[in-house]
Amino acid sequence: MRIAILTSGGDAPGMNACIRAVVRTAIYKNIEVYGIYEGYEGLIDAKFEKMIESSVADIIHRGGTFLRTSRSERFMTDEGFEKAINSLKIFEIDALIVCGGDGTLKGAKKLKDAGINVIGIPCSIDNDLPYTDYTIGFMTAVETVTEAVSNIRDTTESHGRANVVEVMGRSCGDIALFSGVSSGAESIIIPEMEMNINEIAEKALMGKNRGKRHHIIIMAEGRGSAFDFARDFEKLTGIDTKVTVLGYLQRGGAPSIFDRILASEMGFKAVEEAENMNSCAIGTTDGHIRARSFDDIFDVKKEFRKDLLEILKVISI
C-alpha cells in the first residue's frame, strides 16, 4: 500500500508533529509514504518525495510545516484539479492524507467525491471546524496570545491605559474567547455575540473608579476594525486607548504539549483509516479521536463556549 500526505492553507503549530505521526505510523505498518510539498499546489505539480523514518526526525517541537504550504487557486480550477488527480495516479497513491483548515478539508471532500480515498486532519489556529472540539494549532495560538497579552498588560498598567488586542480566527471567536479567559482580559468582542460598546465602557470606568489601571479588550478579527472600536471607546471613557494587532505572530512558534499530543493521536488515527481505505475527516469530541464522513462535517452546528464567556464576565472585572 502507498499513501501520501500534504499540508495546505494557513500553517498551524503541530502540523510537523502530525506529519511525523503519519510517516512513522505508516512505516510501522509497512505502508509506503510520500510527502507532497506546498499543499495542493505541489499536488498539481507532482512535488512528491518518499519519506523514511529520518525524514521526520527532530520536527515534533517545531512550528510551521516542513512540507510547506500554499493557498492554491489553481486547485479550484478544473484544469488544476485534473492535474492533481493525475499526480495521485502517476504515483499510484492509494490514500491521501491532507492537513489543514476549512478550505483544505473542502478541497479534500472534492477529491473524495471524485473517487480518491482521502483522510482529512483539522489543522488551523482558528478552531473554526465545528465537527471537532479542537483543531491542531488552536491551543498553541491561545498560549501565544496569552503570553503577548501578559506583556501588553505590564505596559498598559504602568501607563494607566486601555489596549484593544486584535486576534485572528476568521469568523470564529474562539482564540479571543479562550485567550480572554486565560489572560484575564476585561472584555472580549467576538462574532458569535452582540457587542455593546456602552457596557464595555461602563465596565472599564467602574474598574477605573476602583483604582484599576489597565483595561484589556480582546477583539476577534471577524468583528471588524480594532482601530475603529478603540477610537469610539476612548471617546466614551476618556481612557487613553492603544491598539495591538497580533497578526502572524499567532501562527508561529513551537506547538504546545496539547497540540503535540493531539497531532500524534490524529496522525496515528488517519493512517489507520487510510489502511482501511475509509475516506473521512478526523476530529476530537468529548476527549475521543473519531473519524467522520466528509458528507456531514460541514453542516454541523457548534455552539460557542457560552459557559466560558459567563466565567469571564464574572471573574474579569
Active site (catalytic) residues: 126
Overall size of the chain counted in residues: 317
Strands 32-36 and 48-50: antiparallel
217: three-class secondary structure by DSSP: strand
Residue 292 bridge partners (DSSP): 281
Residues 178 and 242: their CA atoms lie apart, in Å, by 22
User: Of the two residues 100 and 207, which places its CB atom closer to ligand F6P in the complex?
Assistant: 100
Of 129, 16, 19, 7, the residue nearest 70 (C-alpha): 7
Q: How far is the CB of 251 from ligand F6P (least distance, A)?
A: 5
DSSP character for 37? T
User: Of the two residues 221 and 259, which places its CB atom closer to ligand F6P in the complex?
Assistant: 221
Query: Applying CB under 6 A, what is the total number of residues that bind ligand F6P?
Result: 11
Choosing from 65, 70, 104, 124, the residue that interacts with ligand F6P (CB under 6 A) is: 124
> Among the candidate windows 42-50, 73-81, 168-176, 287-295, which touches ligand F6P by CB under 6 A?
168-176
> Among the candidate windows 124-132, 180-188, 197-205, 229-237, which touches ligand F6P by CB under 6 A?
124-132
DSSP character for 74? G
The interface mask with ligand F6P, positions 220-259, x = CB under 6 A, is -x-----------------------------x--------
Angle between helices 174-183 and 306-315 (to 10 degrees): 30
- Say which residue the cell 480594532 belongs to: 226
Of 223, 222, 219, 240, the residue nearest 231 (C-alpha): 240
- Say which residue the cell 457587542 belongs to: 195
Strands 187-189 and 95-100: unpaired
Q: Does 125 bind ligand F6P (CB under 6 A)?
A: yes
Q: How far is the CB of 205 from ligand F6P (least distance, A)?
A: 32
> Among the candidate windows 48-56, 57-65, 119-127, 211-219, which touches ligand F6P by CB under 6 A?
119-127
The interface mask with ligand F6P, positions 53-92, x = CB under 6 A, is ------------------x---------------------
The grid coordinates listed for 139 are 491551543
Q: Does 101 bind ligand F6P (CB under 6 A)?
A: yes
Q: How far is the CB of 249 from ligand F6P (least distance, A)?
A: 11
Q: How far is the CB of 304 from ligand F6P (least distance, A)?
A: 16
Secondary structure of the chain: what % helix, strand, coil (to 5)? 45, 20, 35
Residues 234 and 160: their CA atoms lie apart, in Å, by 13
Choosing from 5, 31, 142, 168, the residue that interacts with ligand F6P (CB under 6 A) is: 168
DSSP character for 170? T
> Among the candidate windows 51-59, 80-88, 164-172, 304-312, which touches ligand F6P by CB under 6 A?
164-172
Binding site for ligand F6P (CB under 6 A): 10, 71, 101, 124-126, 168-170, 221, 251
